[in-house]
Amino acid sequence: MAGLRHEAIGKAGRLMTALLGGYFFACAWAVFVAAVLPLPRPQAVLMATLTSFAAFLAITILSFAFSSLWRWLMILSVMTLALAGSGLALSEAGA
């Protein structure tokens, strides 16, 4: 019974990582891509938003593919913070 509870907590953690981590990563991705694309602002935002759905899907799949949830959380956190920080820095520099 204890093993079943531990497995359920692990799956719930992966599900929360997929949903919340995927959402935050997709937002950071959209900010970064919109700042980097050499298009007019409306087209860059549209392209960034459309590609963020693919980024969300990739993060969701990877959340269940990694063997260690904690390692994946660390990798996802670093990638999200790096994308968000560089995207915000580039959008401030370009504005």
Long-range Cβ pairs for the range 86-95 (8 Å, 24+): 86/32, 86/35, 87/28, 87/31, 87/32, 87/33, 87/34, 87/35, 87/36, 88/31, 88/35, 90/32, 90/35, 90/36, 91/31, 91/34, 91/35, 94/35
Specify the pTM.
0.89
What pLDDT score does 26 carry? 97
Instruction: Compute the residue count for the chain.
Output: 95
φ, ψ dihedrals at 66, nearest 5°: -70, 145
What pLDDT score does 94 carry? 65
Question: Which residues in the chain land under pLDDT 50?
Answer: none
Structure token digits, residue 72: 């994946």
